[in-house]
Amino acid sequence: MALGQYIFRRLILAIPTLLGVTIAVFLLIRLIPGDPARIIAGVTASDEEVRRIRVELGLTKPLHVQYLVFLNQLRRGDLGRSAVTRAPVTEEIALRLPQTVMLAVASTAAACLIGLLAGIISATRPSSFLDYLVMAGAVCGISIPVFWLGLMLMLLFAVYLHWLPAGGYGTAAHFVLPTITLAAFSVAIIARMTRSSLLEVLNQEYVRTAHAKGVPARGVVFRHALKNALIPILTVVGLQFGALLGGAVLTETTFAWPGIGRLLVSAVSSRDYAVVQGIVFIFASMYVVVNLAVDVLYGYVDPRIHYG
């Protein structure tokens, strides 16, 4: 099967997944206690004013009718309007999506660089002090909550040392703490997967043959072993990029980062249904695209893989 046909088939198969996401978020956001019309109108608003807002937002219609209206808008590429700002949701997301993507890309790059290096060091020196140190660091990275790590980094580097800004957006310095915070979990996952995958490859016959032929250890690892160990690592990196987009919600809130994660928290608090539905749909779509890109990369990493 040609690559183009494979991509087209995968995109078609992604439609039921995205449809399921829309149903789930549509129902779950409406299960949260609180009347969005009352929240928007304010506690001092009259019942008449609240009823007017409910009609304006379409909340008086049956749930299935509201969902069909949402699907019809989505079919046209329209995510609706924010109940709070009255602006189109697509514009609200477009203003903040670049900041979230830049943060996720920077965190993924940092996680790949550090995680791969740590995993290689650990795999090439099994049962050594460095191996135990890397694995202990990986356990810490997996265990530490994102928001707590962000607050501790902020306290150390912004409050005590005054090296970096505590939050906000604008300069390269503002990227450092959110990137480290967001990348910590992924570094641990990638390091563990790299170690596991590389150890398995290093025990193969062709690796021992390369050593016997006098190929330098560095050449054996980087030219032979690592390339054949990349498939599971690529899978983890793709999954982690999607996780970083979702994890940006906590990080952006902690560091006052103007991305869609912070917008999502604000929208949930104000029961802005259209914004929540739009952001979750965008997250799900990006996750599908990233996983498809990883599957396509498999064929370039390992020529034996065919898209059949």
pLDDT tens digits, one per residue of 109-159? 999 899 988 988 888 888 888 888 888 988 888 888 888 888 999 999 989
Among the residue ranges 24-38, 65-79, 199-213, 251-265, the one predicted with the least confidence is: 199-213
Give the tens place of pLDDT for each residue, 12-47.
888 888 899 889 988 888 888 877 887 777 777 787
Q: Strand, helix or coil at 284?
A: helix
In sign, the C-alpha dihedral spanning 42, 46, 49, 54 is positive
Residue 191 and residue 119 in contact, taking contact as beta carbons nearer than 8 Å:
yes
Calculate mean pLDDT across residues 247-253: 79
pLDDT band at 211 (very low <50, low <70, confident <90, very high): low
Query: Does residue 209 register a pLDDT over 80?
Result: no
Query: Does residue 191 register a pLDDT over 80?
Result: yes
Query: Does residue 210 register a pLDDT over 80?
Result: no
Angle between helices 273-301 and 230-254 (to 10 degrees): 160
Query: Does residue 77 register a pLDDT over 70?
Result: yes
Query: Does residue 68 register a pLDDT over 70?
Result: yes
Query: Does residue 212 register a pLDDT over 80?
Result: no
Residue 84 and residue 272 in contact, taking contact as beta carbons nearer than 8 Å:
yes
Q: What pTM, to 2 d.p., does this model score? A: 0.82
* Cα 65 from chain centre: 32
Calculate mean pLDDT across residues 224-238: 80
Q: What is the pLDDT of residue 114?
A: 92
Residue 154 and residue 177 in contact, taking contact as beta carbons nearer than 8 Å:
yes
Q: What percent of the chain has pLDDT over 70?
A: 95
Q: Which amino acid is at 32?
A: I
- Give the CATH fold of the 90-301 domain: MetI-like fold (1.10.3720)
pLDDT band at 306 (very low <50, low <70, confident <90, very high): low
pLDDT band at 307 (very low <50, low <70, confident <90, very high): low
Cβ neighbors of 205 (< 8 A, separation 6 or more) are: none
What is the spatial distance between Cα 144 and Cα 19, in angstroms, rounded to a whole number? 34
Q: Which amino acid is at 168?
A: G
Angle between helices 230-254 and 146-153 (to 10 degrees): 60
Residue 70 and residue 26 in contact, taking contact as beta carbons nearer than 8 Å:
yes
Query: Does residue 298 register a pLDDT over 80?
Result: no
Query: Does residue 1 register a pLDDT over 70?
Result: no
pLDDT, the chain, mean: 84
Burial class (CB in 10 A: 0-12, 13-18, 19+), 78: middle
Query: Does residue 186 register a pLDDT over 80?
Result: yes
Per domain, the residue ranges of the chain are: 3-64, 90-301
| Of 164, 172, 179, the residue nearest 248 (C-alpha) | 179
Q: Which amino acid is at 271?
A: R
- Residue identified by tokens 């990493």 is 301
Cβ neighbors of 153 (< 8 A, separation 6 or more) are: 177, 180, 181
What is the spatial distance between Cα 173 and Cα 165, in angstroms, rounded to a whole number? 7
